């Protein structure tokens, strides 16, 4: 039997793991969306008092860069996952990407919460962004459950 091409291996790695990894894939959307939004609207933080504290912690360019890093880490982790079955550190990379997501989304959540309490921001922002933290915590937990598992060889 011949070895499948890299494209087939990537497809199978993604498709075979997608049912359990869908939340990790889903988290690419808000990361990508915020990255693009901050690139195309470099004055985003001045549009609402909800962004007041985030703006004091870093510029839109800095937050866009951080979201870009988070997006690349997540995509790389999901690309490696399942594609290279002998690579035993795939769950570690996924967990690292998820932990970075926890860090990023918790900062956004905290920024929106403190803006609500001190600057007249909207509470709904905190609720929305903290949902991302919960999803990333779940992704981290699921990734660590995979550490040490032996997956069948392709």
Q: What residue numbers bound the domain in which 48 lies?
A: 23-146
| Tens-place pLDDT, residues 62-82 | 999 999 999 999 998 888 876
In a domain, 31, yes or no: yes
In a domain, 5, yes or no: no
Quick: pLDDT tens for 2-50.
777 878 877 887 888 788 889 999 999 999 999 999 999 999 999 999 9
**pLDDT, average across residues 99-114:** 96
Answer yes or no: are the C-beta atoms of 58 and 45 closer than 8 Å.
Answer: no
- In degrees, to the nearest 5, what angle opens at C-alpha 111 toward C-alphas 22 and 27? 10
* 4 located within any domain: no
**Residue 41's CB: how many other CB atoms inside 10 A?**
13
* 24 token code pair: 């990790």
Residue 101 lies in a domain: yes
Query: Does residue 13 belong to any structural domain of this protein?
Result: no
Task: Say if residue 86's pLDDT is above 80.
Answer: no
pLDDT at 152: 52
Which pLDDT does position 14 carry in this prediction? 81
Residue 53 lies in a domain: yes
Q: What are the residues whose beta carbons fall under 8 Å from the beta carbon of 14, sequence distance 6 or more?
A: 78, 79, 82, 83
Tokens of 56: 């004091």
Q: What is the pTM of this model?
A: 0.84
The b-or-e profile of 55-92 (16+ CB within 10 A means b, else e) is beeeebeebbebbbebbebbbebbebbbbbbeeeebbe
Residues of the chain above pLDDT 90, percent: 65
Residues 131/30, Cβ–Cβ less than 8 Å: no
- Within-domain flag for 153: no
- For residue 124, tell me if it sits in a domain: yes
Q: Provide the number of structural domains found in the chain.
A: 1
Predicted confidence at residue 62, as pLDDT, reads: 95
């Amino acid at each position: 039997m011949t070895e499948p091409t890299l494209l087939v291996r990537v497809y199978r790695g993604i498709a075979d793991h997608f049912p359990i990894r869908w939340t990790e894939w889903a988290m690419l959307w808000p990361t990508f969306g915020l990255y693009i939004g901050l690139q195309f609207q470099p004055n985003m933080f001045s549009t609402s008092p909800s962004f007041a504290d985030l703006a004091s912690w870093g510029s839109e360019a800095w937050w866009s860069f951080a979201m870009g890093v988070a997006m690349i880490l997540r995509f790389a982790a999901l690309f490696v996952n399942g594609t290279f079955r002998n690579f035993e550190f795939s769950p570690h990379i996924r967990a690292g990407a998820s932990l970075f997501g926890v860090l990023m989304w918790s900062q956004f959540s905290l920024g929106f919460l403190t803006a609500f309490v001190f600057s007249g921001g909207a509470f709904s922002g905190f609720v929305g962004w903290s949902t991302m933290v919960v999803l990333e915590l779940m992704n981290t937990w699921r990734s660590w459950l995979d550490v040490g598992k032996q997956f069948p060889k392709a």
